[in-house]
């Protein structure tokens, strides 16, 4: 498989994945609406084929000569999902199903859907959740992803191979960095203000995943024949590494060269997500050694170096450059996009 369409390629994960694919000799066709294309911290490899277009407007013409689709495009976390619930469903659910149906119609061989562990919502189980366990999505983002999963599993078959990945909360450097996700955020607070703010009591569990590991796994799936597991979902995260929010903060503090204070504000509002997740299935099917919890220390150290090398000060860390919700608010305020999250012509 040589021609890979990556939707959302100008985002946090997409920018890293696109670079990895280009380096490995794949022909990458990028598809992105362009909300965050200017949120660049550092240079990326130049992509030859870039489509700037809303995923809601995907057409058959966009899918010519494609071998595999990696579908990242979405309103991509819980706060963004609450921005406008209807638009969240339009982008994350309806556009996803439209894309999959067009892909199948055009005989595209493989479809990799990036979902989320937010679908587990609030779990009171101390046992690690397996892929088939009860789902309790509590936000529009999580519900839209779960709806898409259920519908996609009925579209996939042995000829239209599809796989669903449920990544843990991703962390690590990216050319289009995000500071609004947990570990990236904790390191940013520690680097810029010598504090780490926790907006809960610290007890919720947040499995995590190194961004490079996720991208390497996606490439492994592109290369493999996945007929026998077509339609299945896989939790993806650091093996045996279900950390609480407070434990993650303490790890960042211990690896900082500064005297860091952890502040527990305990005002998380509606976001009380907590879940321990099993990563045994992904480990067994792909025999991957990369999802190792020991990588967390190296990843945190790399983040501190990344903040320093790229001069990500408090303004960059807390503003539209790295906080996706702030970027959308900025684009709306400047009348660059309208209330439906479409560019004003």
* Domains of the chain, earliest start first: 3-333 (3.40.50.720)
State the DSSP code for 337: B
Residue appearing with tokens 């909300």: 35
Q: Which tokens go with 293?
A: 């919890």
Rounded Cα distance between 272 and 57, Å, is 34
Q: What is the pTM of this model?
A: 0.94
What pLDDT band is residue 126 in, cutting at 50, 70 and 90? confident
Q: Which of 329, 7, 4, 10 is nearest to 178 (CA)?
A: 10
What pLDDT band is residue 190 in, cutting at 50, 70 and 90? very high
pLDDT at res. 78: 62
pLDDT tens digits, one per residue of 292-323 = 656 889 999 999 999 999 999 999 999 999 99
* DSSP secondary structure string for all residues of 67-134: SEEEE--S--SHHHHTT-HHHHHIIIIIHHHHHHHHHHHTT--EEEEE--GGGG-B---SSPBPTTSP
Question: What value does the mean pLDDT of the chain take?
Answer: 91
What pLDDT band is residue 87 in, cutting at 50, 70 and 90? very high
Q: Which of 158, 176, 170, 61 is nearest to 114 (CA)?
A: 170
25: CB partners within 8 A, 6+ apart = 2
Rounded Cα distance between 64 and 257, Å, is 51
Q: Which of 104, 197, 83 is nearest to 151 (CA)?
A: 104
The CB-side HSE value for 86 (13 A sphere, CA atoms) comes to 3
Rounded Cα distance between 171 and 212, Å, is 9
131: CB partners within 8 A, 6+ apart = 166, 232, 233, 234, 235, 278, 281
- Whole-number percent of the chain with pLDDT over 70: 94
Rounded Cα distance between 1 and 345, Å, is 37
pLDDT tens digits, one per residue of 25-84 = 999 999 999 999 999 998 888 898 999 999 999 999 999 999 999 999 999 766 665 667
Rounded Cα distance between 331 and 333, Å, is 6
* pLDDT value at 148 more than 90: yes
* DSSP secondary structure string for all residues of 254-317: HH-SS--EEEE----TT---B--B--HHHHHHH--S--BTTHHHHHHHHHHHHHHHTT--HHHH
């Amino acid at each position: 498989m040589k021609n890979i369409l990556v939707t959302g390629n100008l985002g946090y994960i997409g920018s890293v994945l696109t670079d990895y694919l280009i380096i490995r000799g794949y022909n990458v066709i990028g598809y992105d609406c362009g909300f965050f294309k200017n949120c660049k911290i550092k240079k990326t490899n130049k992509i030859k084929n870039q489509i700037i277009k809303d995923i809601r407007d995907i057409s058959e013409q966009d899918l010519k000569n494609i071998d595999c689709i990696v579908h990242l495009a979405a309103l991509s976390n819980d706060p963004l999902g609450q921005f406008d619930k209807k638009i969240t469903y339009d982008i994350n659910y309806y556009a996803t199903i439209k894309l999959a149906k067009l892909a199948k119609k055009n005989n595209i061989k493989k479809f990799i859907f990036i979902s989320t562990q937010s679908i587990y919502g609030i779990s009171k189980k101390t046992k690690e959740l397996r892929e088939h366990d009860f789902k309790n999505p509590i936000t529009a983002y999580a519900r839209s992803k779960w709806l898409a999963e259920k519908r996609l599993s009925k579209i996939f078959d042995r000829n239209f191979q599809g796989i669903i990945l449920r990544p843990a909360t991703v962390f690590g450097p990216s050319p289009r960095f995000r500071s609004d996700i947990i570990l990236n955020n904790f390191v940013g607070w520690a680097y810029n203000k010598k504090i780490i703010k926790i907006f809960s009591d610290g007890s919720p569990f947040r499995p995590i995943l190194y961004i490079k590991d996720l991208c390497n796994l996606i490439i492994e799936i592109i290369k493999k024949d996945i007929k026998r597991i077509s339609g299945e979902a896989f939790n993806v995260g650091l093996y045996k590494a279900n950390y609480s929010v407070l434990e993650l903060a303490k790890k960042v503090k211990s690896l900082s060269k500064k005297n860091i204070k952890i502040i527990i504000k305990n005002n998380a509002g509606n976001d009380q997500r907590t879940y321990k997740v099993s990563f045994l299935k992904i480990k067994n099917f792909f025999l991957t050694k990369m999802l190792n919890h020991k990588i967390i220390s190296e990843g945190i150290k790399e983040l501190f170096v990344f903040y320093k090398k790229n001069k990500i000060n408090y303004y960059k860390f807390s503003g539209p450059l790295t906080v996706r919700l702030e970027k959308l608010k900025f684009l709306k305020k400047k009348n660059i996009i309208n209330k439906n999250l479409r560019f004003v012509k």
